[in-house]
């Protein structure tokens, strides 16, 4: 019997979620012999590893202490993208007049309904990550908080699970920072934010990373007065000045106030209000909020696992792994947020696949071979893959950057949208080192560049690739065409000229 987990508000949707992701009446199995693979953590990485291994006929144990589906399903990608969809609709409604549409009557946001929609969608998706599904796939699922009892033994719920190979996939949680008064005043993280049923009138967000920016735009569009603080001049992982200016302008158009390069001094509660005192551009200032969302990065979940007993070394960043994702115990691997710096669901998935091949089939797959795209789902989106131009230069590679603006595509103009695509190539060649796209559907477009990098395809091929007209993805072809034009050197131009005049 497992302990009952409640997710607030405990309505029918969250009850369905819990029934699927951590059934209160779940009976843990009795282990019967050694497992080929023990998976600790049932989030994106753990589930891919467990399902993949079971599908290949391995004897698999999966241990999850909280909710199956991990952060992505419960307090990350799924709920955030569900509420961002509502926020996007508000963005469109606000632009209605620009598009020639008059809205007669009031348009209002029903925050409770937005959040209920999110909970319903999350509950619907949770069937895919349900305990029953994994049992039906032949996986021995143990719900509970366990720990290593040796180099090849893990204990949970009074049972000893022995294994040939194991993977630690326990994910991460919101990091905290030592701001005086923060803990006493109280704050929410990515977990609490999706439990809200009432819109905070004034929301302070500490951290202008992907989570901070996405939530800032969503809550600003829902009607909160949002202030975002960051110690760095960076937003959403971007350092590119043009990109930063574009994203900042888009978010400021949603009435978000930014204090980048600010230093939070203290936080105090006065009655029900939370007062943030900070320095910005040499001045001491304060902002009053009803709620504070802390989004300053992630911390690995390694506590309580008794990793020393298993000979697994741990650092501040998580379990220490080599390029083949082996920990310091060669039979134990790390996957997902707990082990790697690129903390996304798709990398959790990709690292789990590396572990499957390396752990079960003596594979030699390397983490460093992965080409990892990422997207910040603001409106417009920020998507990136490979190296930034400045990163390549820092590594000693000279770079040519080709840029096309969304307004240079007909679809960008028909849709009245802004943004750009920048493709970084090795100087003098068409070899793609990386790309950044800022556009409403940048996340959909970045995969074309990812595929090109994976396949070793250069801008020459992209410029010959027919893109449907009119799509915003034509921005990629146009950028490749810009590279193509550089091949028209004065000598080549002269030769063309001669040839054409002879043919007249």
Ligand X SMILES: Cc1cc2nc3c(=O)[nH]c(=O)nc-3n(C[C@H](O)[C@H](O)[C@H](O)COP(=O)(O)OP(=O)(O)OC[C@H]3O[C@@H](n4cnc5c(N)ncnc54)[C@H](O)[C@@H]3O)c2cc1C
Q: Which residues bind ligand X (CB under 6 A)?
A: 40-46, 63-67, 70-72, 75-77, 80-81, 145-146, 169-171, 190, 211, 301, 304-305, 336-338, 343-346, 348, 377
Q: Quick one: 40 or 425, whose CB is closer to ligand X?
A: 40
Per-residue CA distances from 145 to 65, 155, 316 (Å) = 5, 9, 21
Q: Quick one: 43 or 458, whose CB is closer to ligand X?
A: 43
C-beta of 322: minimal distance to ligand X in Å? 18
Angle, in degrees to the nearest 10, between helices 442-455 and 474-485: 50
Kindly compute the dihedral angle of the four CA atoms of residues 356, 360, 365, 367, in this order, to the nearest 10 degrees. 50
Q: Quick one: 63 or 475, whose CB is closer to ligand X?
A: 63
Q: How is residue 47 written in tokens?
A: 């589930």
User: Residue 326 and residue 367: Cα distance in Å, rounded?
Assistant: 10
C-beta of 214: minimal distance to ligand X in Å? 7
User: Residue 40 and residue 154: Cα distance in Å, rounded?
Assistant: 9
How large is the C-alpha radius of gyration of the chain? 25
Tell me if the bond preceding 380 is cis, omega within 30° of 0: yes
C-beta of 160: minimal distance to ligand X in Å? 15
* Cα–Cα nearest to 324, from 356, 349, 354: 354
Tell me if the bond preceding 470 is cis, omega within 30° of 0: yes
Q: What is the torsional sign of CA 153, 155, 160, 165?
A: negative
C-beta of 96: minimal distance to ligand X in Å? 27
* Cα–Cα nearest to 374, from 438, 455, 308, 292: 438
User: Residue 453 and residue 451: Cα distance in Å, rounded?
Assistant: 5
C-beta of 373: minimal distance to ligand X in Å? 10
C-beta of 498: minimal distance to ligand X in Å? 54
Q: Quick one: 63 or 161, whose CB is closer to ligand X?
A: 63
C-beta of 240: minimal distance to ligand X in Å? 21
Q: Quick one: 211 or 383, whose CB is closer to ligand X?
A: 211
Overall residue count recorded for the chain in this entry: 504
CB crowding 116-152: b at 16 or more within 10 Å, else e: bbbbbbbbebbeebbbebbeeeebbbbbbebebbeeb
User: Residue 455 and residue 180: Cα distance in Å, rounded?
Assistant: 51
Cβ-proximal residues to 237 (8 Å cutoff; 6+ apart), any chain: 209, 210, 374, 376, 382, 384
Q: Quick one: 278 or 377, whose CB is closer to ligand X?
A: 377
Q: How far is CA 156 from the centre of its chain?
A: 30
Place of tokens 């449907």: 468
C-beta of 372: minimal distance to ligand X in Å? 10
Q: Quick one: 399 or 435, whose CB is closer to ligand X?
A: 435
C-beta of 143: minimal distance to ligand X in Å? 9
C-beta of 52: minimal distance to ligand X in Å? 13
Which stretch of DSSP H or E encloses residue 218? Answer: helix 210-222
DSSP 238: B
Q: How is residue 377 written in tokens?
A: 């789902």
C-beta of 335: minimal distance to ligand X in Å? 7
Q: Quick one: 18 or 67, whose CB is closer to ligand X?
A: 67
C-beta of 473: minimal distance to ligand X in Å? 20
Q: Shortest Cβ contact with ligand X: which residue?
A: 43
Q: Quick one: 356 or 399, whose CB is closer to ligand X?
A: 356
Q: Quick one: 72 or 321, whose CB is closer to ligand X?
A: 72
- The SS3 of residue 121 is helix
Q: Quick one: 189 or 457, whose CB is closer to ligand X?
A: 189
* Cα–Cα nearest to 117, from 77, 81, 67: 81
Q: Quick one: 193 or 480, whose CB is closer to ligand X?
A: 193
**Please, where are the H alpha helices in 236-290?**
241-252
Q: How many CA atoms lie within 13 A of 334 on its CB side?
A: 31
Q: How is residue 285 written in tokens?
A: 């200032």
Q: Quick one: 53 or 482, whose CB is closer to ligand X?
A: 53
C-beta of 178: minimal distance to ligand X in Å? 21
């Amino acid at each position: 019997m497992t302990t009952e987990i409640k997710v607030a508000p405990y309505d029918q949707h969250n009850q369905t979620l819990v029934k699927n992701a951590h059934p209160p009446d779940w009976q843990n199995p009795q282990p019967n012999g050694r497992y080929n693979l023990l998976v600790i953590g049932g989030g994106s990485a753990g589930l891919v590893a467990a399902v993949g291994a079971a599908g290949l006929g391995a004897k698999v144990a999966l241990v999850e202490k909280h909710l199956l589906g991990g952060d992505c399903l419960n307090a990350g990608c799924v709920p955030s993208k569900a509420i961002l969809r509502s926020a996007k609709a508000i963005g469109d409604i606000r632009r209605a007049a620009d598009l020639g549409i008059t809205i007669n009557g009031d348009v209002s946001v029903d925050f409770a309904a937005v959040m209920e929609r999110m909970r319903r969608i999350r509950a619907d998706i949770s069937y895919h990550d349900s305990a029953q599904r994994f049992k039906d796939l032949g996986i021995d699922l143990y719900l509970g908080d366990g720990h290593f009892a040796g180099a090849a033994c893990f204990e949970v719920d009074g049972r000893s699970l022995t294994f040939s190979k194991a993977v630690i996939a326990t994910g991460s949680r919101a990091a905290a920072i030592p701001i005086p008064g923060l803990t006493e005043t109280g704050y929410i993280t990515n977990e609490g934010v999706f439990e809200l049923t009432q819109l905070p009138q004034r929301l302070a967000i500490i951290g202008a990373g992907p989570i901070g920016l996405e939530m800032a735009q969503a809550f600003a569009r829902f009607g909160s007065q949002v202030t975002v603080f960051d110690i760095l001049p960076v937003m959403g992982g971007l350092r590119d000045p043009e990109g930063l200016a574009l994203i900042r302008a888009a978010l400021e158009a949603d009435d978000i106030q930014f204090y980048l390069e600010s230093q939070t001094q203290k936080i105090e509660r006065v009655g029900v209000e939370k007062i943030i005192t900070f320095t910005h551009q040499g001045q001491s200032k304060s902002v009053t909020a009803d709620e504070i969302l802390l989004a300053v990065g992630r911390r690995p979940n390694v506590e309580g696992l008794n990793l020393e007993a298993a000979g697994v070394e741990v650092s501040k960043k998580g379990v220490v792994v080599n390029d083949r994702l082996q920990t310091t115990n060669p039979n134990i691997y790390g996957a997902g947020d707990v082990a790697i710096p690129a903390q996304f669901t798709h990398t959790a998935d990709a690292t789990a696949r590396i572990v499957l091949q390396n752990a079960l089939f003596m594979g030699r797959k390397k983490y460093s071979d992965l080409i990892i795209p990422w997207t910040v789902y603001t409106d417009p989106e920020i998507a990136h893959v490979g190296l930034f131009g400045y990163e390549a230069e820092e590594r000693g590679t000279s770079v040519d950057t080709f840029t096309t603006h969304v307004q240079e595509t007909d679809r960008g103009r028909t849709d009245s949208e802004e943004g750009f695509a920048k493709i970084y190539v090795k100087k003098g060649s068409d070899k793609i080192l990386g790309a950044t796209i800022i556009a409403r559907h940048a996340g959909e477009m970045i995969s074309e560049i990812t595929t090109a990098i994976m396949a070793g395809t250069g801008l020459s091929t992209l410029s010959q690739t027919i893109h449907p007209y009119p799509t915003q993805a034509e921005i990629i072809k146009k950028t490749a065409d810009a590279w193509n034009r550089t091949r028209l050197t004065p000598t080549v131009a002269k030769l063309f000229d001669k040839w054409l005049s002879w043919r007249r």
